Structures are given as C-alpha cells and as structure tokens.
Amino acid sequence: MGTQTVAELVRRQWGDHRTGLRDEHTTLTHHQVASGAAARAALLTELMPDGPGCEPHLGLLLDNTPEYPLWLGAAALAGAAVAGINPTRRGAELARDIRHTDCRILVTQRAHLPLLDGLPLPGIRVLVTDTDAYRELLAPYGSATPGDTFLRPVRPGSRLLLTFTSGSTGAPKAAVCSQGRLAAAGAALVSRFGTRDDDTHYICMPMFHGNAVIADWAPALAAGAGIALRARFSASRFLPDVRRFGATYFTYVGRAVQYLLATPATPHDRDHRLRLGFGTEAGAVDAARFEARFGARLVEGYGSSEGGAAIQRTPGTPAGAVGRAAPGDDLAVLDPATLRECPPARFSPTGVLLNADEAVGELVNRGRSSFEGYWRNPEAEAARLRDGCYWTGDLFYRDADGFLYFAGRADDRLRVDSENLAAAMIEGILSRWERAAGVAVYAIPDPVAGDRVMAAVALRDGAVFDPRAFADFLAAQSDLGTKMPPTYVRVVPGLPLTATHKIHRVALRRAALACPDPVWWRPSPAAPYEPFTETARETLRREYEERHRPFPGDPS
C-alpha cells in the first residue's frame, strides 16, 4: 500500500484546463472533472446517513458514462467507498450484492432501472443520473472544490473500492481496495509503461471490474493523462473511438481481442496513435496477430482485484507461459496437502507437460501481500490467508527457468468472458428445470481464453431433452446472469459420483467434449441449441489447434 491517496490525485487536477475526460457526448477538462467530483462529494456528504453502523458506501450500477469516474473521484474526496454493481446480475442475486456491501446510495441510469423493479432494497436511496431530478439535486453543489471538508478525513488506508470477485460457494465476495493501494497500483503502471500526461487512456472494459479501474483509470489519474470512455465494449467502434480520441493505451480481456480480430481488416488499421494494450488471456497467438495487424503491442499480466499476487509477462516469456512473479512477490507453486513446493515442469519436445501430477499446484505468495480482505467475509479471508501465505485459488506449474503457466482453478469456478462465476450458483438455477433430476456445472477451456460453461443434466424418468423447452426455461429465469447459460449440455443417464457420493466433477471435466453421451450446444450465445455433431466437433477442434490449445477431452 502506498503513502499517496486517490483523493490527492483528484485534487491535483484542479486548475488543469487540458482535456481530461471524454465520451461520444461529453468533453470535460481535468479541472471540470475535479469540480464535478467535488460537487458529487458534497452531495454525498449531505445524503449519506451518519451514526453507528452507517458505512459510507455507495453502489454504482452504471455503464461507462462520465458519471462513473466522477463518482469514483467523489468517493475518494469524501472518504467513502464504491461498490461496482454488475448489471449482468439479476433478481435476488443483484439485490444481494447491493445489500451485502451496505450501500446507502445507489447511483444508476434509466436503462438499468428495470433491473431494480421489485427488488427488496430497504433504506437505499436511488439516484438516476440521466434525469432532470438528478441534475436539480446536484446543482446547489456546483461551487464545491476538491479542498473542501467532506464526510471524513482521508488516509492511504481509507477504504475506496469494494470489487466483487466470485468464489466456489456461490455468492461473490467483495474485495477491499484502499486509496493507498489503488494510487500505488496506478503509479506502478505509470512507471512500468512510461505513461505521460499527454497520453489518453481508452476505457472500454466495464468499470465495475478491477481491470478498468485498477489498470486503466488509476494509472491515467496518476500520470495526469486523459480518459476516453465507451459505454460498453464494441468491436466495431473500437478503432473509430481510438482515432477520434487519440487513444494511446487501453486494457482488455482475451475475448475482446478475439472480437477485434474478427472485424474486417482494412488498409487503415494502423492509422491511429494506439501503442499499448494491457490485460489478460489474449494468448500468444492472438497477441501476435493483434500487433501485426494494428501495430500496437499487447502486454499480458496476471493479477486479481484482491491484489494478493501478480505475474508479469516479460521479453523471452515462453509460449503458453504467463510470465514471472512481479517485483516484490515471492510466488511459489505449492502442494496444498503437504505445503511443499512442486517440482519444475518437464516437457516433451513438442511442449506437452509430462509430469502434471507432481508439477501442478496452487499459486501462493509467500511474501508480503497487498491483500486487504473481503467485506464482511472472514471465512473467505481465512481461506486466502493460510500458513503465513496468500493462496490465490489458481493452479499453476513452473518451468526450470521460473516461468509460470496457468493450469486451472483450485475450486469449482468458471471464468467466462472475464466474468468469474460459481458453478454452484448456476447449478441451483438449472436444477429448477422440471425435467432435470440432477445437474452438474463445470468449466471447459474456451478455444481462445477463459472457460465455457458445460452442464451435465440427468433427466427425470420418462423425460426427454427438448432444446427449445430448455432454452425457454433459461430465458425465464430472472436471476440467470448473461454469462451463465451453458454453451454445452451433456445429457447423461446419471451423474457420476465419488465414493463419498459427491458429484465426480473431475471425471466430467476430463471427458469434456469427448464424452460418449449426447451433447447439445449453442454455437453463439443467441443461437438455439443444436446437436453437437461430428462435423461441429472437427470444426471446433481446428479452432483449438490454431491457437495451440488442447481440445477439451483429448488425452494430454
């Protein structure tokens, strides 16, 4: 954790009349950004209840509009904390996120109001930014300055972010990030990438994720750089935005890179100022394709909203490896049962891992971790901090030169389009289907990055799998998030069980798409379910081979 605060960085913008924040509708100078943050901090101070048990927390249920960074700045000035609320969540799960983080105020926009219909949110005041009522409410505070006194004194340890990250037990955990840690993360990226005050950071990843706030907004603020926003990621608008805003830096996830590469190539693909993208899960093949086509380098990293461990990709990193431990981290791959370090990986001449049984273990930070805990979740904190180490929950193996390779997740989590999902939560929803006698949900690797959702469904006696009825059932579930529907459905006569009568997920994952049972799939999220034929299997297999990834279910 650093000694500087985000509030100091916001105050530093005061008096700077260069362009500081833009989207397709709005242009603000740095000075106007600081002024807008101060006005919202003053409003927040007026509205936020005080007294025992009243945490100064607000939720942001917003697209990437200028209101999002303005409210982040407001919270920093006021000594409040922001919970980024994920708009892909639904129903009771969405309400749970808002209530769990003790939000007293929820800032949203008209497009998201239907998500709140009928939700039990007692005592929570909702502000709708694109309304006359909101503008009238904010108007009296227009003369506020960043140097005013607001809710409470701000220190480096003051809580600023509550960022949701999923776990294996279903309910997402809210990772705490202080002002000092966020300011230090921004400064570290400025130092690493040489960000300048004449750069423009393009934020197209959703700001309720740590990716956009920690790796894009914070370094822009630390460098005094400009920020350009896209409300939601759009592959077709990416290059026009980059050109229009003069963007030089952006953050990404692997799926976004895939979408960008799928756009039609033109002779003008390099007509821009973009020089660098920083993110995760693009993969070496797609990163090389991106640089060859667009002329901008992609830099891969591994990290988490918790801040417990980080890996940096450096020159010379082998294909398939993530990189080496970031400076200051003492990372090891440990056997959770023995706490001993796993031996180095051994590879065949073609790069196949030969000793997975002994080389794969959990990635652990044995050094000083910047993890600051989870909000109101001591059990999850205890699971992270064991035996004097920070346990990431991710499986890795390490080669003889110290390069780390990602091998999966230590519990039943899935990562779909960079959304962390809990298998148990999806299972609970799918189990409502009247034709299902049992359901198991598990991850299989995506051809490019992350996971796809696969479900094994055992049907009730006399029932048959009707793909249209199943799709209609999914569409009717109000709490089924947009990333949760299974891409693949394996129809099984019965779920495999272990000796202790638990679902044998290892066997399901191992069989994956090479299973003997009928499989139905959606080639795209909006497509109807159709049989996963041999022709479809071979077409998909070529996608995996093209990116040097093993086809799910093939023997390693």
Per-residue model confidence as pLDDT tens digits over 109-131: 999 999 999 999 999 999 999 99
From the number of C-beta atoms within 10 Å of its C-beta (0-12, 13-18, 19+), residue 120 rates as exposed
- pLDDT for 419 equals 75
pLDDT in tens, 367-425: 988 999 999 999 999 999 998 899 998 888 899 999 998 776 666 667 888 776 777 77
Where does 330-409 sit in CATH, by number? Answer: 2.30.38.10
The residue among 359 and 277 whose pLDDT is bigger is 277
| Whether residue 191 has pLDDT greater than 70 | yes
Q: From CA 235, how far away is CA 444, in angstroms rounded? A: 25
**Angle at alpha carbon of residue 106, lines to 162 and 12, rounded to 5°:** 60
413-546 has the same fold as 6-201:
no
Upper half-sphere CA count for residue 173 (Cβ side, 13 Å): 24
Strands 57-61, 81-84: pairing is parallel
The residue among 500 and 4 whose pLDDT is bigger is 4
The pair phi, psi for residue 305, each rounded to 5°, is: -60, -25
From the number of C-beta atoms within 10 Å of its C-beta (0-12, 13-18, 19+), residue 357 rates as exposed
Amino acid letter at 189?
L
What stretches of 81-231 adopt beta strand conformation (E)?
A: 81-84, 105-108, 125-128, 159-165, 173-178, 200-203, 226-229
Mean pLDDT taken over the chain: 91
**Angle at alpha carbon of residue 302, lines to 72 and 189, rounded to 5°:** 50
User: Are 103 and 59 a contacting pair, CB within 8 Å?
Assistant: yes
User: Are 187 and 2 a contacting pair, CB within 8 Å?
Assistant: yes
Amino acid letter at 318?
P
Terminal Cα distance for the chain, rounded:
42
Report CA Rg, the chain.
Answer: 24
User: Are 131 and 111 a contacting pair, CB within 8 Å?
Assistant: no
Domain boundary assignment for the chain: 6-201, 330-409, 413-546
Is 413-546 a CATH 3.30.300.30 domain?
yes
Per-residue pLDDT averaged across 522-529, rounded?
A: 92
Residue 406 pairs in a beta bridge with 396
| Whether residue 435 has pLDDT greater than 70 | yes
Of the candidates 460, 475, 464, the residue with the CA atom closest to the CA atom of residue 526: 475
Structure tokens at 52: 């025992």
| Whether residue 167 has pLDDT greater than 70 | no
Burial 482-519 (b: 16+ CB within 10 A, else e): ebbbbbbbbbbeebeeeeeeebebebbbebbbebeeeb
Tokens 């051809």 found at: 447
CA distances from 242 to 145, 226, 230, 264, 292 (A): 32, 13, 10, 16, 17
CATH of 6-201, one of 1.10.10.10, 3.10.200.10, 3.40.50.12780, 3.10.20.30: 3.40.50.12780
Q: What is the DSSP letter of 111?
A: G
pLDDT in tens, 354-373: 787 788 889 999 998 899 99
pLDDT in tens, 232-244: 999 999 999 999 9
User: Are 230 and 247 a contacting pair, CB within 8 Å?
Assistant: no
User: Are 556 and 352 a contacting pair, CB within 8 Å?
Assistant: yes
- pLDDT for 415 equals 81
User: Are 278 and 186 a contacting pair, CB within 8 Å?
Assistant: no
Per-residue pLDDT averaged across 140-160, rounded?
A: 96
Of the candidates 443, 453, 455, 454, the residue with the CA atom closest to the CA atom of residue 409: 443
Structure tokens at 336: 């959770």
Structure tokens at 254: 């692997």
Tokens 């394709």 found at: 289
